[in-house]
Amino acid sequence: MKKAILSLDVEDWYHLDYFRRSECDTSQSLLDGLDRYVDLINELSLPSSFFVLGEIAEKKIGYLKNLVKLGHDVGSHGWDHRRPMTMSPKVFQADLHRCLSAMKIINGDRGFGYRAPCFSLDRERLEIVRRAGFAYDSSRINFGNHPLYGTIDMLGFQNISESIYKQGDFVEFEATTLPILGNNIPISGGGYLRIFPWLVMKSMIAQHLKKNDIYVFYIHPFELSPLPLPKIPASTSPLTRFRFSCGRTRVVDRVKKLTDLLQSRGYEFTTFSAVQQELASSAAG
């Protein structure tokens, strides 16, 4: 079965690594993009996964519990968007544990997952995620040229499909990239959906769909918020300003085009949790 998984990394604009946090006016928020995203997936009647920062989850327990009740999947994106690869294993473990109590209240008996900020994870830290009690992880990306992204050695995992790995009941999901001329283009990210012309993006995604059964998409609230942009720190480079601000007004329309494309190619929408549970129960049976 061909499967598509939509996901939202629930963080504010000032959590992005390319801004100096100390120079950001954190009283200006674009987190209303979360409501806009929830309205959009409700309108499209699609399920989604959410990875929420601990410092945001704590303040939105009721809201997130309701998403789980509606069939969505709520996991953790770390406490405050510090990249795991910049933390010692011990500090990373403490960061994860700080997120756990909210995750348990939100999910009850259901398993929940983790996605590292900036996909910054290695095998040692993946084992810490697993030992902390997470049912799955979605931090793997095959995008070796990016200075912020980590790589995860999957030795000992069973390769279920081109982007799903399993060991026991624990499942690792890889974000979708497309190899072009020796580079892997992350066609799963909201930034690419905003910045590239739709016909270019459509053609790259269609190439991926021809050969693969899984498509993973991720986006952020700041990309969907209709509010004007906050004052960006003066130290921000012109390229970063462009990447941050380009195409925000067309992104809702692009997400609709993307989901139409996936549906027209026979992809069924699901969540990471649902796939993890399916794989765990098929192994048990």
- Distance CA(170)–CA(263), nearest Å, equals 28
Our finding on whether 95 is near Zn ion (CB under 5 A) is no
Contact region with Zn ion (CB under 5 A), list: 55-63, 66-74, 86-94, 111-119: 111-119
Long-range contacts of the stretch 92-97 (C-beta < 8 A, 24+) = 92/125, 92/128, 93/128, 93/132, 96/128, 96/129, 96/132, 96/134, 97/132
Residue 223 CB, nearest approach to Zn ion (Å): 11
- Distance CA(50)–CA(6), nearest Å, equals 9
Contact region with Zn ion (CB under 5 A), list: 32-40, 104-112, 115-123, 178-186: 115-123
Contact with Zn ion (CB under 5 A): which of 54, 113, 117, 186?
A: 117
Residue 77 CB, nearest approach to Zn ion (Å): 6
Residue number of the CB atom closest to Zn ion: 9
Cβ-based nearer residue to Zn ion, 72 or 83:
83
Cβ-based nearer residue to Zn ion, 120 or 277:
120
Q: Which of 141, 100, 89 is nearest to 120 (CA)?
A: 141
Residue 196 CB, nearest approach to Zn ion (Å): 20
Contact with Zn ion (CB under 5 A): which of 9, 12, 174, 223?
A: 9
Number of residues that bind Zn ion (CB under 5 A): 3
Contact region with Zn ion (CB under 5 A), list: 2-10, 40-48, 131-139, 162-170: 2-10
Our finding on whether 137 is near Zn ion (CB under 5 A) is no
Site string for Zn ion, 235-254 (x = CB under 5 A): --------------------
Residue 45 CB, nearest approach to Zn ion (Å): 26
Residue 173 CB, nearest approach to Zn ion (Å): 16
Our finding on whether 33 is near Zn ion (CB under 5 A) is no
Cβ-based nearer residue to Zn ion, 187 or 280:
187
Our finding on whether 189 is near Zn ion (CB under 5 A) is no
Q: Residue 12: count other Cβ atoms within 10 Å of its Cβ.
A: 23
Cβ-based nearer residue to Zn ion, 149 or 267:
149
Residue 33 CB, nearest approach to Zn ion (Å): 13
Residue 167 CB, nearest approach to Zn ion (Å): 25
Residue 27 CB, nearest approach to Zn ion (Å): 20
Binding interface with Zn ion (CB under 5 A)? 9, 11, 117
